Amino acid sequence: MNKSSVVILCPREFKFTDHEASVESPFLTDVAKVQTVWLDYNEPFPTQVLDTDALILWHGPLIDAAILSQMKHCKAIIRNGVGFDSVDTSAAAAAGIPVCNVPDYGTEEVADHAIALMLALYRQLFPLDAEAKTLGWKINVAGKMRRLRHQTLGIVGLGRIGTATALRAKAFGMRVVFYDPYVPVGTHKAIGIERLNSLDELLRASDTVSIHCPSSSETRGMIGARELALLRPGSFLVNTARGDIVQKASVFSALRSGHLAGAGLDVVENEPLRTPEEAASPNLICTCHAAFCSPEGMVEMRSTSAKIARAAVTGQRVWNRVN
């Protein structure tokens, strides 16, 4: 009896080099032939991808309705990560193809990273480092350094990562508020933070805003010039979610005007940074969409994707389905 096929699809730009699929193979080799395919973003999908029984997808390329219509044998598409905006989930559902993600693999890493960005802004770590390395020792940014206790952190999106970030901020003695219309009533009581009823209310209340919602038609461009103007002068913005949630031109303008005292962006709209002018925005920390990174997180993510693929090709129920 022929084995099923599982393809791991990766853009060449991602530089994924595990040709043997050493993490995935132990979960799959007894039931499926495992192949890794590297593809440019605009390159046509080869036959082995279109004919596969399960597809594990790294960042991009985009899988749209036209491609899905050719995937006659596919029993599941598994996004190796949290975000699934590179797949037309509605078209996949119409084609009877479950789309799954791995929503919890990087919870600790991304929450840690959001807090690290916030700490770097509050404690002015990078200006101090630059001063020390020019053999200065005057602490020129002393007036910009702040005590965290009693500062208000506003969290937009209280999913797994937002909740983990909230609990870390509480440990610093911060007041934590959140806005998320989709979490159950009483969530704020369970973890001891405050729920606000609108994004505008959260923006007005916060000293720092940290973004933790998915990219969707509802959230793309959600933070722009109007929203940033609602923040208190001298506030901070942190984004470890998706770049297109925050309009980068508005952020860079607010940094240049001084209305924002700083921004910690792991992700940016139309990433990476595109011009020297963007990179020169004052009080900007940018970290290359790396918040999810750790060896432990990568193994957890890839193992989970492989387990879901195994369930799909053996006729079992898949989990983490998003469509």
Does some domain include residue 152? yes
- Give residue 117's pLDDT: 98
Quick check: helix, strand or coil at residue 286? strand
Separation between Cα atoms, residue 268 and residue 246, nearest integer Å = 7
- Whole-number Å distance between alpha carbons of 286 and 290: 10
Query: Do the domain assignments include residue 318?
Result: no
Q: Which of 108, 131, 271, 278 does the annotation list as catalytic?
A: 271
In the annotation, is 289 catalytic? yes
Distance CA 255, CA 262 (A): 6
Contact between 284 and 60 (Cβ < 8 Å): no
Supply the range of the domain harboring residue 271: 107-286
Q: What is the pLDDT of residue 15?
A: 66
CA distance 10 to 303: 16
CATH of the domain at 46: 3.40.50.720
Split into its structural domains, the chain has a count of 2
What is the rounded distance in angstroms from the CA atom of residue 170 to the CA atom of residue 193?
Answer: 8
Q: Taking each helix axis as running N to C, give the angle between helix 107-122 and helix 160-171, from 0 to 180 degrees, rounded to the nearest 10.
A: 40
Q: Are residues 241 and 122 in the same domain?
A: yes
Q: Are residues 194 and 272 in the same domain?
A: yes
List of residues 6+ apart from 67 with CB closer than 8 A = 45, 50
Residue 1: per-residue pLDDT: 55
Name the catalytic one among 59, 259, 289, 321: 289
- 242 is a catalytic site residue: yes
Length of the chain: 323
Nearest-angstrom CA–CA distance, 101 and 77 = 8
pLDDT at 11: 84
* Residue 30 pLDDT: 96
H/E segment holding residue 179: strand 175-179
Which DSSP state fits 42?
A: T
Residue 308 domain-assigned? yes
Using a 10 angstrom Cβ sphere, with 0-12 exposed, 13-18 middle and 19 or more buried, the burial of residue 308 is buried
Query: Do 263 and 239 belong together in one domain?
Result: yes
Residue 259 is assigned to a structural domain of this protein = yes
Low-confidence ranges of the chain (pLDDT < 70): 1, 15
Shared domain check, 10 and 94: yes
Same structural domain, 33 and 143: no
Catalytic residue among 113, 242, 302, 310: 242
Sheet holding 194-195, edge to edge: 194-195, 175-179, 152-156, 208-211, 235-239, 260-265, 284-286
Is position 125 within any domain?
yes
Same domain? For 89 and 224 the reply is no
Q: Is 300 a catalytic residue?
A: no
Same domain, 258 and 276: yes
β-bridge partners, 38: 10
Decide if 165 is inside a domain: yes
Task: Examine the domain organization and report whether 91 and 111 are in the same domain.
Answer: no
